Amino acid sequence: MATVEIRGIKKYYGDVPAVNGVDLITREGEFLVLLGPSGCGKTTLLRMIAGLETPSEGELVIGGEVVNDLPPRARKIAMVFQSYALYPHMTVFKNIAFPLKAQRVERAAIPQKVEWAASLFGIGHLLQRKPRQLSGGERQRVALARALVREPAVFLLDEPLSNLDAQLRASARDELQQFQRRIGTTTIYVTHDQVEAMGLGDRIAVMKAGTVRQIGTPQEIYDEPADAFVARFVGSPPMNLVECRDYILGFRPEHFLPKGTHNGDIKAATFRFRVTRVEYLGADRLLYGTLGDALADQKVIARLPSTVTVRMDPATTYDFTVEERQLKFFALSTELRIQRRPL
């Protein structure tokens, strides 16, 4: 068990910064998710922790030891790659045994350890198969078993679910989390999928353009975004961001409801909302439209749960309200979160 400390890490490719000054400390046994759009530097950061890339600046500490100059094998980490990177010419057994042999684990102890790791992921019956004879989900489990078998201090996962179909991904997510809770190894997980991040992470670090914009629990990230980027990136559909005078006003689509839906005694702000399109999604309805009055023509989305049964028609204007404590304010220039303003 160990923690990972990232101190002022930078990585340049030529003059282009891929990671531009990241400070981050994981907690013992934590599931930390690095979340961000493509090209934000999250995979580069993970590869630097693994020792597959050398930082241009900064310090990496794993388990209290500065590891900048250590090769990957000396860092007590294990990594699962997006492609799984199974060794195609080896059987599942040999794939899982490979890190043990490389670390010169006693020969007699290897079969037992391989079977233990395989049984954890329910792939004991596949040990004699070659990777090409496995399904996507089975390959992913083999990759996890291979990473787990030498009991690393830190687990690094690079989008390990992105090659699975949607249904499999949901169940794999569930298994992955249960498995991490059980072994309690510090885990750093890279993804661009915010649903995955919200579902898996104890904490999420949201990255953009090589920097960390916010670190917090899924709830903190969702409810109290530190800037407009985080507000826009997390949540589907994203937070409505509306420019008013010198600031940006933000509210979640699910808090933007027809007048009268809220209890009468709650303080709420009222907006004129002209609906242009209605999307019926079963569990809820999405209303696309524009605001009226002073905020004329700014596009927003409302998300009505199926419990709200009021009839809504396109090309009609309604009064919508947002509870005042659900309104977020961001500076127009920096996009950073600011104090509450009068509307």
Partner 1 sequence: MDSSAQIKPAAANPVRAQRRAGSIFDREGWLGPLLIGPAILYIVLLVGIPFFMALYYSVSNTTAGSETMAFVGLRNFANVIGTPKFQTALKNTFTFALLSQVVILIFSNALALALQKDFRGKRLIRFLILLPWVAPISIGTIAWLWIFDSTYSVLNWTLRMIGAIQGQGFMWLGVPHLAMGSIIAVHVWRQLPLATVILLAGLSSIPKDIHDAAAVDGAGFWRHFFQLTLPLILPISLVVLLFGLVFTFTDMIIIYNLTRGGPYDTTQVLASLAFYTGIAGGDLAEGAAISLFLFPLLLAVALGFLRIARRTEVT
Residue ranges that bind partner 1, judged by CB under 8 A: 47, 50-52, 71-73, 77-79, 81-85, 87-89, 98-99, 101-103, 132, 146, 150
What secondary structure letter does DSSP report for 294? G
Give the nearest distance from C-beta 172 to partner 1 in angstroms.
Answer: 19
- Cβ distance to partner 1 smaller for residue 105 or 242: 105
- Cβ distance to partner 1 smaller for residue 47 or 303: 47
How far apart (Å, rounded) are the C-alpha atoms in residues 143 and 204?
24
- Cβ distance to partner 1 smaller for residue 34 or 78: 78
Assign residue 298 a region (left: φ > 0; alpha: ψ between -120 and 50; beta: otherwise). Answer: beta
Give the nearest distance from C-beta 65 to partner 1 in angstroms.
Answer: 17
* Closest by Cα among 244, 239, 217 to 228: 239
Q: What is the DSSP string of 150-183?
A: T--SEEEEESTTTTS-HHHHHHHHHHHHHHHHHH
Give the nearest distance from C-beta 26 to partner 1 in angstroms.
Answer: 18
Give the nearest distance from C-beta 277 to partner 1 in angstroms.
Answer: 22
Is the link from the previous residue into 237 a cis peptide, with omega within 30 of 0? yes
- Cβ distance to partner 1 smaller for residue 134 or 322: 134
CA torsion, ordered 171, 172, 173, 178, to nearest 10 deg = 90
Are 70 and 60 in contact by the 8 Å Cβ rule? The answer is: no
Give the nearest distance from C-beta 38 to partner 1 in angstroms.
Answer: 17
How far apart (Å, rounded) are the C-alpha atoms in residues 223 and 75?
36
Report residue 79: phi and psi, to 5°: -130, 140
Q: What is the CA radius of gyration of the chain?
A: 24
Give the nearest distance from C-beta 54 to partner 1 in angstroms.
Answer: 13
How far apart (Å, rounded) are the C-alpha atoms in residues 256 and 138?
43
- Cβ distance to partner 1 smaller for residue 87 or 317: 87
- Cβ distance to partner 1 smaller for residue 81 or 329: 81
- Cβ distance to partner 1 smaller for residue 158 or 196: 158
Give the nearest distance from C-beta 164 to partner 1 in angstroms.
Answer: 17
How far apart (Å, rounded) are the C-alpha atoms in residues 247 and 231?
14
